[in-house]
């Protein structure tokens, strides 16, 4: 489930800036996580992720933007908040997932393009799916 992730060398300044941006978007301090991994244990989607939820926090506080943004983990998260209600530190990981999604979406890079959804799917999906999916996966 958790594969080795190649690390990109980036300047210390850009790494600090990334961590600061994430901290601002989540309104919490990434340092408050003590890496117990309960978030990964309770996540129903962890099996489909290439970087575990716990590791997302670690990479974010190291400022390793490319490693997280390039993974499918934040796009696999369904914001079910199982991690949020179970964290012994009261840290809300769902906000980190959202922050990293937004940093990509705000560059006008959508994860889903409505025109790519097959017409029969578009016809079948109820509004609750379309609105929530497009809210989370497009800019």
Partner 1 sequence: MGLAYYPGCTLKTRARNLEGPAVASMEALGFELDEVPRWNCCGAVYSLAEDDLIHQVAPVRNLIRVKKQGKTELVTLCAFCLNTLKRANLLMKEDPAKRNTLNDFIDEGIDYGGEVKVVHLLEVLRDEIGWEVLAQKVKLPLTGLKAAPYYGCTLLRPRDVAIDDVENPTIVGDFLRALGASPVDFPETTTCCGSYQVVSAPGDIPEYARPILSSALRHGAEALVLTCPLCDYNLGRAQKELARRQSGFKEVPLLYFTQLLALALGLGPQVCHFELNHGHPESLLEEKGLLSRVESVQPIGGKQ
| Coil vs helix vs strand at 76 | helix
Contact 137, 110 (CB under 8 A): yes
3-state helix, strand, coil in the chain (%, to 5): 60, 0, 40
Q: Which residues contact partner 1 (rule: CB under 8 A)?
A: 24-27, 44-45, 47-48, 75-76, 78-82, 84-85, 92, 94-95, 97-99, 102, 111-112, 117, 121, 125-137
Q: Shortest distance, CB of residue 8 to partner 1, whole angstroms?
A: 25
Q: Shortest distance, CB of residue 87 to partner 1, whole angstroms?
A: 11
* Complex with partner 1: residue 7 or 124, whichever CB lies closer: 124
* Complex with partner 1: residue 10 or 75, whichever CB lies closer: 75
Contact 73, 1 (CB under 8 A): no
How far is Cα 100 from Cα 90, in angstroms, rounded to an integer?
Answer: 20
Q: Shortest distance, CB of residue 41 to partner 1, whole angstroms?
A: 13
* Complex with partner 1: residue 10 or 138, whichever CB lies closer: 138
* Complex with partner 1: residue 10 or 84, whichever CB lies closer: 84
How far is Cα 101 from Cα 70, in angstroms, rounded to an integer?
Answer: 11
């Amino acid at each position: 489930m958790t594969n080795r992730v190649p690390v990109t060398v980036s300047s210390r300044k850009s790494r600090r800036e990334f961590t600061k941006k994430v901290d601002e978007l989540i309104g919490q301090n990434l340092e408050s996580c003590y890496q117990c991994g309960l978030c990964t244990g309770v996540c129903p989607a962890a099996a489909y992720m290439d970087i575990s939820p716990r590791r997302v926090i670690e990479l974010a506080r190291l400022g390793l933007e490319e490693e997280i943004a390039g993974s499918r983990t934040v796009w696999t998260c369904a914001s079910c908040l199982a991690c949020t209600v179970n964290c012994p530190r009261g840290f809300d990981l769902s906000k980190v997932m959202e922050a990293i999604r937004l940093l990509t979406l705000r560059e006008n890079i959508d994860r889903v393009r409505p025109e790519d959804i097959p017409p029969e799917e578009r016809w079948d999906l109820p509004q609750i799916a379309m609105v929530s999916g497009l809210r989370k996966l497009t800019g």
